[in-house]
């Protein structure tokens, strides 16, 4: 296996400078003359001068009579001035040109007509109610400076003053070439098999380019074949594209190909940037064009597109890069970071009380869902070793700021009913958004304790008391006044393959040879439940093969069973049903939502209560299977246990 030798990774700013120094943008991006009516979003190459004034002539701004101001100076209440039609005044409507003999307009409401005579009782100053020549724009003045991104308003101004054609820089054109033996072309709507992925970075870039006002064209994926890739790059360089992007596959071989292919026809200037994700990004120049080697992992690709390609594309077209709105947010969990690299951390952000709270999402560079679930991104600088919980971060918003006030962050245990809650909240008026941070039940309670969340989802069973959640609230959140409301009663059990091929009937079977268990993470209510039942059956963790293999959600456990990566895991019935798996019931448990009293009256919490108690919600939950909704929406108290069982 040939090792890929990286150049020293360099900071993003240095990478951009190297590329700019090697490109001749005057030669690469030409100027074109286009009609002003379709110039919105384009960048002016020269200042634009007005051809005509606007208005072109003095005109009446009101309906009334045009007069000479000097004729009215003696008019007073009780001592009116009379003007004769023709010589003294004429009627005008708004927009009519002002006859040159006159220099002011009196509103018709202030005129008393008597045959041909107009009587007025107060004087007017020159230019009263007159829209003056050039009041808006004067011929020959500079209407737009150079290097201006033409706005919709600018289009209006350009047409108003007769600047019908404008010199603008070409629209930046990008060609993107996805590559990789493992990538499948989405156009055939494929079902990915082992080691295969549906190629998506190219269309993500096309969608970004559209936002940026740039053109982007994608070609079908190229296999990891040096000659095929060279041919595709050649075609891209010969096209009218200014920038050619090669998206790497994820294999080691694929990464080598991109660099070598560029070096056949040009020069690689940057191979590796000090950014995570995004490190294995390449920048090169070939035949005067910019060539970008984007990493295969989706989030790495996004960093490459947004932090390298976009600034360079803006520089080419003299466009001012758009910056995202930022808010200051308090970090609710500590975040590690790499020294010497900028870490791009995706965040779930919501309002808690008066401040914004940020919860870091997974760091996986391959997880595009961290971009779809995030409300913001923050950059941890190279010198940082990480940030502690409670630190303030600058959160670059991926959503509209107005949304944050209606975004509720729920921290805690994952459950499919949270998706139903999220969907019903979106149907409300106004719609509310639910952002979830799945850190397990204990993580949720700790978030509440730290003031990092308004809502926690938890299903912690206390074997000693036989009660749910309250014993943990008493132990870990003493003194915090909370409201506990039930979301649903869930059925937990052992998720097994269809037909239960290994004949698993209970916990005891997990100690058998050849039975591979898959556990949940520490702090998860499901894990605590498993440990309880494990102890009840007289077994210890070391007896269970796979006890130390951990997944973070019910669905992940189910998927592992479905693909035969595990034989069995404890999870909710809903997860088994969703994937067509069999289910060996083990226990019922209570999944509650915990809300600090301080937020009880918040609009977002009120919406949650309304949804959780609604029949529509309960119906959808029951349809999932494996849930009971008798207590959904009901306020819980210590010792209530479960419906139908004696109080704890």
Site for a second copy in 587-646 (CB under 8 A): none
Question: Do residues 470 and 638 lie in contact, with contact meaning Cβ atoms separated by under 8 Å?
Answer: yes
Q: Of 525 and 571, which CB lies nearer to a second copy in the complex structure? A: 571
| Alpha helix (H) residue ranges in 321-399 | 369-373
Q: Of 123 and 641, which CB lies nearer to a second copy in the complex structure? A: 123
Question: Do residues 204 and 298 lie in contact, with contact meaning Cβ atoms separated by under 8 Å?
Answer: yes
| Minimum distance, C-beta of residue 536 to a second copy, in the bound complex (Å) | 25
Tell me: does residue 449 bind a second copy (CB under 8 A): no
Tell me: does residue 576 bind a second copy (CB under 8 A): no
Under rule CB under 8 A, which residues in 140-179 are in contact with a second copy? 140-148, 151-162, 164
| Minimum distance, C-beta of residue 186 to a second copy, in the bound complex (Å) | 5
314: CB partners within 8 A, 6+ apart = 212, 320, 321
Among positions 253, 272, 451, 638, the unique one binding a second copy when judged by CB under 8 A: 253
Among positions 54, 379, 413, 458, the unique one binding a second copy when judged by CB under 8 A: 54
- The tokens for 21 are 């120094």
Tell me: does residue 194 bind a second copy (CB under 8 A): yes
Report DSSP state, residue 297: S
Tell me: does residue 522 bind a second copy (CB under 8 A): no
Among positions 18, 25, 96, 588, the unique one binding a second copy when judged by CB under 8 A: 96
| Minimum distance, C-beta of residue 644 to a second copy, in the bound complex (Å) | 29
Other Cβ atoms closer than 10 A to 156: 13
Q: Of 546 and 638, which CB lies nearer to a second copy in the complex structure? A: 546
By CB under 8 A, which span of 382-390, 417-425, 492-500, 525-533 interacts with a second copy? 417-425
Using H for helix, E for strand and C for coil, what is the string for 145-166?
CCCCECCHHHHHHHHHCCCCEE
Q: Positive or negative CA dihedral for 464, 465, 466, 472?
A: negative
Among positions 239, 367, 483, 521, the unique one binding a second copy when judged by CB under 8 A: 367
Tell me: does residue 193 bind a second copy (CB under 8 A): yes
DSSP 429-490: SS--EEEEEE-HHHHHHHHHHTT--SEEEE--EETTTTEESHHHHHHHSTT--EEEEEEEEE
Tell me: does residue 402 bind a second copy (CB under 8 A): yes
Among positions 338, 433, 532, 600, the unique one binding a second copy when judged by CB under 8 A: 433
Report DSSP state, residue 99: P
Tell me: does residue 403 bind a second copy (CB under 8 A): yes
User: Among residues 186, 183, 73, 60, which one has the least CA distance to residue 127?
Assistant: 60
By CB under 8 A, which span of 246-254, 263-271, 384-392, 533-541 interacts with a second copy? 246-254
Tell me: does residue 422 bind a second copy (CB under 8 A): yes
Q: Of 50 and 275, which CB lies nearer to a second copy in the complex structure? A: 50
Using H for helix, E for strand and C for coil, what is the string for 219-265?
CCCECCCHHHHHHHHHHHHHCCCCEEEEECCCCHHHHHHHHHHHHHH
Under rule CB under 8 A, which residues in 296-315 are in contact with a second copy? 296, 298, 302
- Size of the residue set binding a second copy (CB under 8 A): 135
In angstroms, the CA 337 to CA 438 distance is 20
Asked if the bond preceding 580 is cis, omega within 30° of 0, the reply is no
626: CB partners within 8 A, 6+ apart = 490, 491, 572, 573, 574, 576, 577, 583
By CB under 8 A, which span of 196-204, 329-337, 526-534, 592-600 interacts with a second copy? 196-204
In angstroms, the CA 115 to CA 297 distance is 84
Among positions 6, 31, 87, 97, the unique one binding a second copy when judged by CB under 8 A: 97
Tell me: does residue 366 bind a second copy (CB under 8 A): yes
By CB under 8 A, which span of 123-131, 474-482, 536-544, 607-615 interacts with a second copy? 123-131
| Minimum distance, C-beta of residue 41 to a second copy, in the bound complex (Å) | 8
Q: Of 482 and 497, which CB lies nearer to a second copy in the complex structure? A: 497
Among positions 579, 587, 610, 648, the unique one binding a second copy when judged by CB under 8 A: 579
- The tokens for 137 are 């724009």
Under rule CB under 8 A, which residues in 502-521 are in contact with a second copy? none
Q: Of 28 and 460, which CB lies nearer to a second copy in the complex structure? A: 28
In angstroms, the CA 43 to CA 168 distance is 5
Question: Do residues 405 and 351 lie in contact, with contact meaning Cβ atoms separated by under 8 Å?
Answer: yes
| Minimum distance, C-beta of residue 585 to a second copy, in the bound complex (Å) | 21
By CB under 8 A, which span of 126-134, 233-241, 447-455, 474-482 interacts with a second copy? 126-134
Report DSSP state, residue 321: P
């Amino acid at each position: 296996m040939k090792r890929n030798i990286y150049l020293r990774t360099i900071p993003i700013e240095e990478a951009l400078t190297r590329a700019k120094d090697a490109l001749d943008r005057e030669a690469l991006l030409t100027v074109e003359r286009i009609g002003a009516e379709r110039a919105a979003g384009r960048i002016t190459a020269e200042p634009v001068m007005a051809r005509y004034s606007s208005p072109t002539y003095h005109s009446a701004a009101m309906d009334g009579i045009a007069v000479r101001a000097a004729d009215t100076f003696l008019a007073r209440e009780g001592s009116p001035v009379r003007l004769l039609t023709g010589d003294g005044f004429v009627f005008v409507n708004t927009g009519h040109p002002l006859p040159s003999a006159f220099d002011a307009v009196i509103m018709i409401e202030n005129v008393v007509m008597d045959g041909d005579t107009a009587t007025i009782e107060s004087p007017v100053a020159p230019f009263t109610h007159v829209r003056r020549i050039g009041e808006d724009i004067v011929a020959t003045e500079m209407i737009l400076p150079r290097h201006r991104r033409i706005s919709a308003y600018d289009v209006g101004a350009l047409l108003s003053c007769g600047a019908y054609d404008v010199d603008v820089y070409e629209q930046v054109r990008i060609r993107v070439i996805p590559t990789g033996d493992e990538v499948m072309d989405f156009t055939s709507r494929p079902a990915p098999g082992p080691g295969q992925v549906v190629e998506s970075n190219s269309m993500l870039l096309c969608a970004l380019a559209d936002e940026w006002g740039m053109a982007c064209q994608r070609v079908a994926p190229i296999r990891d074949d040096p000659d095929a890739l060279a041919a595709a790059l050649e075609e891209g360089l010969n096209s009218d594209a200014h920038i050619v992007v090669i998206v790497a596959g994820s294999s080691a071989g694929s990464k080598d190909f991109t660099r070598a292919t560029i070096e056949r026809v040009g020069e690689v200037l940057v191979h590796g940037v000090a950014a995570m994700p995004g490190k294995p990004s390449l920048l090169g120049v070939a035949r005067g064009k910019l060539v970008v080697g984007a990493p295969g992992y989706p989030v790495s690709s996004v960093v490459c597109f947004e932090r390298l390609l976009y600034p360079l594309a803006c520089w080419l077209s003299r466009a001012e890069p758009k910056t995202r709105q930022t808010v200051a947010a308090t970090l609710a969990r500590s975040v590690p970071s790499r020294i010497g690299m900028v870490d791009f951390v995706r965040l779930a952000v919501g309002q808690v009380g008066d401040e914004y709270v940020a919860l870091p999402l997974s760091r996986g560079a391959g997880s595009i869902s961290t971009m779809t679930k995030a409300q913001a991104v923050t950059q941890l600088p190279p010198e940082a070793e990480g940030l502690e919980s409670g630190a303030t971060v600058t959160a670059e918003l991926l959503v509209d700021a107005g949304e944050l006030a209606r975004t509720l962050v729920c921290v805690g245990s994952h459950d499919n009913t949270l998706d139903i809650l999220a969907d019903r909240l979106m149907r409300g008026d106004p719609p509310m958004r639910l952002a979830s941070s799945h850190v397990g039940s204990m993580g949720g309670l700790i978030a509440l304790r730290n003031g990092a969340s308004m809502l926690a989802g938890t299903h912690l069973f206390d074997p000693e008391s036989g009660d749910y959640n309250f014993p943990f609230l008493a132990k870990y959140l003493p003194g915090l006044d909370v409201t506990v409301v039930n979301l649903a009663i869930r059925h937990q059990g052992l998720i097994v393959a269809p037909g239960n091929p290994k004949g698993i009937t209970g916990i005891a079977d997990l100690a058998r040879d050849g039975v591979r268990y898959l556990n949940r993470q520490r702090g998860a209510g499901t894990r605590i439940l498993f440990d309880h039942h494990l102890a009840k059956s007289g077994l210890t963790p070391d007896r269970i093969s796979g006890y130390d293999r951990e997944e973070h959600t019910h669905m992940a456990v189910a998927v592992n069973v479905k693909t035969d990566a595990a034989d069995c895991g404890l999870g909710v019935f809903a997860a088994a049903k969703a994937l067509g798996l069999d289910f060996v019931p083990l226990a019922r448990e209570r999944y509650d939502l915990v809300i600090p009293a301080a937020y009880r009256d918040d609009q977002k919490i009120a919406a949650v209560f309304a949804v959780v108690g609604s029949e529509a919600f309960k119906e959808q939950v029951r349809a999932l299977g494996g849930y009971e909704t008798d207590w959904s929406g009901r306020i819980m108290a210590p010792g209530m246990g479960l419906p139908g069982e004696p109080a704890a």
